[in-house]
Amino acid sequence: MERRVALITGGARGIGKAIAMQLARDGWTIAICYRTSQDATQHTVQAIQNIQSTDDNILAVKCDVSDAEAAKALVEQVQGTWNRIDALINCAGPYHRVPLLEETVEGWNAMFQNNLHPVFYLSREIAEGMKERRWGRIINFSMANADQMIAQTHVTAHYIAKSGVLILTRSLAKTLGPYGITVNAISPGFIDSGSAPAEELATMVKRIPAGYIGDVSDTVSAVKFLLSDEARYVNGTNIHVSGGWGI
């Protein structure tokens, strides 16, 4: 059986890196894309090469997946290298905090261009190959409480985009389900992934029912389940990885 191939956006750092490292340990072939994190990407690639004792099963591509043509070229490069993509894991999802009425048009648009649109662009491109093989996994990252549709005065566009990811996830699940493809979302809460200041995380502990900040391994475990054959009948769902925050 050919090694399964995973394409992970945002795979150079944080949760994306942790997923890439675990899948490398599990024997997957890994493609990661990055936009600006070249040094971090090199470290991640080296770590995966060390795990697998080869450089044949890791590919890192600089790509702005908010551009539809660039996303298409990325998929073509990965498929051209290994002739398949079995799993698409959409981890890229930058955000910024700014009061709603102080948000710029450019900042507003960037949140949708980088959090929502790439999920559509990449899913559309990889779908045909998955349909032909009658097997595939797409995992999208939203955020805990995005399904609540509550007011968010400082991350408004990001929040709306992440809510949109959930709707797109369900729509893709219904569209691709007949072909043996599952599409699910993971919604992390406060995870110590290196992207948030330690003091900010510390102030949130009292609002988390579990009583502690999550680790990247918590999200990796959810990804491993959704990629497995044990999750073959799990489609269109949203898994909260938040210790109870945001529900």
In CATH terms, the fold of domain 5-241 is: Rossmann fold (3.40.50)
Q: What is the mean pLDDT of residues 178-193?
A: 96
Give the domain ranges of the chain: 5-241
Q: Model confidence over 67-97: pLDDT tens digits?
A: 999 999 999 999 999 999 999 999 988 889 9
pTM attached to this predicted model: 0.96
Per-residue confidence at 105, pLDDT binned at 50, 70, 90?
very high
Residue 1 confidence (pLDDT): 56
Gap between the Cα atoms of 159 and 146, Å rounded: 6
Contact call for residues 90 and 12 (beta carbons, < 8 A): no
Residue matched to tokens 């981890």: 91
Q: Model confidence over 35-58: pLDDT tens digits?
A: 888 889 999 999 999 999 888 899
Q: What is the 3-state secondary structure (H, E, C) of the chain?
A: CCCCEEEEECCCCHHHHHHHHHHHHCCCEEEEEECCCHHHHHHHHHHHHHHHCCCCCEEEEECCCCCHHHHHHHHHHHHHHHCCCCEEEECCCCCCCCCHHHCCHHHHHHHHHHHCHHHHHHHHHHHHHHHHHCCEEEEEECCCCHHHCCCCCCCHHHHHHHHHHHHHHHHHHHHHHHHCEEEEEEEECCEECCCCCHHHHHHHHHHCCCCCCEEHHHHHHHHHHHHCHHHCCCCCCEEEECCCCCC
Gap between the Cα atoms of 146 and 126, Å rounded: 26
Residue matched to tokens 């991350």: 155
Which residues are part of the catalytic machinery? 159
Residue matched to tokens 């662009």: 121
